[in-house]
Amino acid sequence: MEVSSSIHTVYLAGNPNCGKTSLFNLLAGLNQKVSNIPGTTVEKVEGKIRLSDGSVKTLIDLPGAYTLYPGSEDELVAGRNLLQAKNAVIVFVADATRLQSNLFYFTQIADLGLPMVLVLNMTDVAKSKGIVVDTALLSQLLGVRVVETSARKSQGVQQLKQVLPSVSEAYQRSFVDPDSHANGNVFSAYKLAIQQQFDASESGILSDELALVRKNDATYRQIEIQHIANQVVDVSPQRVSFLEKLDSKLIHPVWGLCFLFLLLFLVFQAVFSLAELPMQGIEWLFFEAGSLVRTYLSPGFFNDLLVEGVISGLAGIVVFLPQILILFFFIGILEETGYITRVSFLTDRFMQRFGLNGKSVIPMAGGLACAIPSVMAARSIENKAEKLATILITPLMTCSARLPVYTLLISLMVPEEQQVGIFNVRGLVLMGMYLLGFVSALLFALLFKLFIRAKIKDYFVLEMPELRPPRWKALFINLYRKGMTFLTGAGKVILVVSLLLFVLKKYGPPNQMNAVHERYQALAFVNELSEDQVMQMEAELLKTSYAGQLGQLIEPVIKPLGYDWKIGIALITSFAAREVFVGTMSAIYGVADDEEGLGLRAKLQSELNPDTGKPVYSFPVLLSLLIFYAFALQCMSTIAVVYRETNSIKWPVLQLVMMTGVAYLFSMLAFNLASI
């Protein structure tokens, strides 16, 4: 029967960690479209596949799921797609090493009565573990075409493309208990039952009756599956592999924890020391670009805008790219190898005490990069109270937006190249800030626990995937994407703020600005202005400008923290996003427009208080700023995303008040204690 033309879509379905996405990459190549499914955080990945008969079909990678009885958002999305699938073939990808447990989801999908192909992936891994699957018998027992693949080694892909055009007939065998749907068509009755289960899961209300249906259905299936697996899977004991030996050490109560701490320590040292050289290079590059514009473009408004607005704004973003990429690189390795689940295991008991959960480690670790996607990642936590607590504390983790701020402040605080033993002191202080973020996240969790009420019973059942070497290609593609997101996402905000600031800095109330100009023009008429007088004039102009006025307006509020109106401007602008602080400072101090080649650090170091003649950026002020940025919720996007995720104005407001309130209090305390 030649019905291949009626098939338009090929769906890839399967459990998480079955190698589905690797297979998708092989089938679709780089021609992929990633979009967010509306109203969810789940990504929809779509591509095109050319089959061996020359036809081209749409290929859709469904989110990984364990069951059609949805327990997570991924499972809801995958299930909805399958229930609505028409003119489609389902390619079910099973991990050959865990065939029996993968078959559960397979049988549920099979009962929907769509054309199906079973892909037995990771067959090479299975063989190395002594697992042999009789695919011919499996195919016969299940009544489905079986294709062996190894997505990692790109094997079996051509065969799948050859098999697919011939698969067009609906799946025939049923795994439904024949007694449960005694009347009528088993497939349609089952589909109706699954639909009911779906609606129940979506509304969050699962009646006892439906729960019993689920359990009976699941039990019947498992008996059938066990019967099949016993016949087709043959396991001969193998020597314990190196990775398995390593794994047993990684989850060991003592060695595992030691390794975890050592790893975190090394990562932070690396973020600081490896990034130093590229950062200097980038600073130099932008300085040269600024000089070039100054030399070859006629002076005037446009020249100033380009150098003081655009170039110094861009420099403020790009300079932090090395650190962000290095950090993402390490987090990527932890995720790719499956180590992150070991971290969940080691820390769960500890996290439970704070009303959190071993799974909170994933959003929290993600919070080291950015709170925005991490707050969304908390969706994978099924326990509602623990999920809410995780959402509320994730922004306290030291995100990459704080990194530029910390880097700048720490480099002002600690003289260059200072070492304690073999350790870089700046690296140690930075690690201290990460520790502060983590500890305060836990303490805030205790605090927020007072506001959270939980009633529904929840379970913590987490699958621990095999430890495996990272797929470098996937890791680097991800790294590239995240780097671009930082540059374009944060970059846009920073650039707009930089330009706005340039204008606010350049202009002020006209009569007041003119008064300053006239006063110095009169002086210049008598005598050529000395260098000091020029600097004085510039300082007065900045103070008179709109930006200066804004800073002075809030100065009384921030004075107890040790800040002046210049820092005030940066506090206001960086409410948009923390890293804007650095860009603002660069703009205020006109860093790109600097003939002596001094960076922002040097400029800040030499800044003196006009009243006292002492350095503005003294130790107490720097400490106070560090603490302020550790706690304050200086991020509009986080507030927006927490509002969306909790669907209530109460939680983001509580979060903002608590975090920024504590920031204000602790900064004031630190400033006054350090000043003694």
Partner 1 sequence: MQQVLSEAKKGQVFKLLSVDDEGLALKMLGFGFVQGVELKVIEKAPFGGDPMVVQHAFTKLILRKKDTACIKVELLNQ
Q: Which of 353, 380, 349 is nearest to 364 (CA)?
A: 380
Cβ distance to partner 1 smaller for residue 71 or 278: 71
Q: How far is the CB of 20 from partner 1 (least distance, A)?
A: 17
Written as one string, the DSSP assignment of 110-153 is HTT---EEEEEE-HHHHHHTTEEE-HHHHHHHHTSEEEE-BGGG
Cβ distance to partner 1 smaller for residue 193 or 570: 193
> Is residue 330 a contact partner of residue 337, using CB atoms and an 8 Å limit?
no
List the alpha helices (DSSP H) in 589-649. Answer: 600-606, 619-631, 636-646
Cβ distance to partner 1 smaller for residue 227 or 650: 227
> Is residue 12 a contact partner of residue 62, using CB atoms and an 8 Å limit?
yes
User: What sign has the CA pseudo-torsion 528, 533, 538, 541?
Assistant: negative
Cβ distance to partner 1 smaller for residue 206 or 285: 206
Q: How far is the CB of 633 from partner 1 (least distance, A)?
A: 31
Q: How far is the CB of 612 from partner 1 (least distance, A)?
A: 52
Q: How far is the CB of 608 from partner 1 (least distance, A)?
A: 52
The contacts of residue 107 (CB under 8 Å, 6+ apart) are 175, 221, 224, 225
Exposed, middle or buried by CB within 10 Å (0-12, 13-18, 19+), for 529? Answer: middle
The contacts of residue 633 (CB under 8 Å, 6+ apart) are 395, 639, 655, 656, 659, 660
Q: Which of 637, 643, 589 is nearest to 308 (CA)?
A: 589
Cβ distance to partner 1 smaller for residue 224 or 579: 224
Helix (H, G, I), strand (E, B) or coil at 59: strand
Q: How far is the CB of 15 from partner 1 (least distance, A)?
A: 9
| Residues engaged in binding partner 1 (CB under 8 A) | 66-67, 69, 71, 97-98, 100-101, 104-105, 129, 131, 211-212, 214-215, 218-219, 222-223, 225-226, 248, 251-254, 256-257, 341, 344-346, 348-350, 352, 358, 457, 459-464, 466
Cβ distance to partner 1 smaller for residue 466 or 593: 466
Cβ distance to partner 1 smaller for residue 250 or 326: 250
Cβ distance to partner 1 smaller for residue 333 or 462: 462
Q: Report how far residue 382's alpha carbon sits from residue 384's, in angstroms, rounded to the nearest whole number.
A: 6
The enclosing H or E element of 437 equals helix 425-449
Q: How far is the CB of 446 from partner 1 (least distance, A)?
A: 17
Cβ distance to partner 1 smaller for residue 460 or 520: 460
Residue type, 407: T
Dihedral angle, C-alpha 292, 298, 299, 300, nearest 10 °? -120
User: What sign has the CA pseudo-torsion 117, 100, 467, 150?
Assistant: negative
Cβ distance to partner 1 smaller for residue 6 or 238: 238
Q: How far is the CB of 225 from partner 1 (least distance, A)?
A: 8
> Is residue 195 a contact partner of residue 209, using CB atoms and an 8 Å limit?
no
Q: How far is the CB of 355 from partner 1 (least distance, A)?
A: 14
Q: How far is the CB of 104 from partner 1 (least distance, A)?
A: 6
Q: How far is the CB of 461 from partner 1 (least distance, A)?
A: 5
Report CA-CA distances (Å) from 615 to 405, 412, 607, 621, 672. Answer: 19, 11, 6, 10, 17
Cβ distance to partner 1 smaller for residue 69 or 175: 69
Q: How far is the CB of 116 from partner 1 (least distance, A)?
A: 19
Q: Which two tokens stand for residue 58?
A: 């749409």
Cβ distance to partner 1 smaller for residue 126 or 311: 126
Q: How far is the CB of 450 from partner 1 (least distance, A)?
A: 22
User: What sign has the CA pseudo-torsion 605, 606, 612, 616?
Assistant: negative
Residue type, 41: T
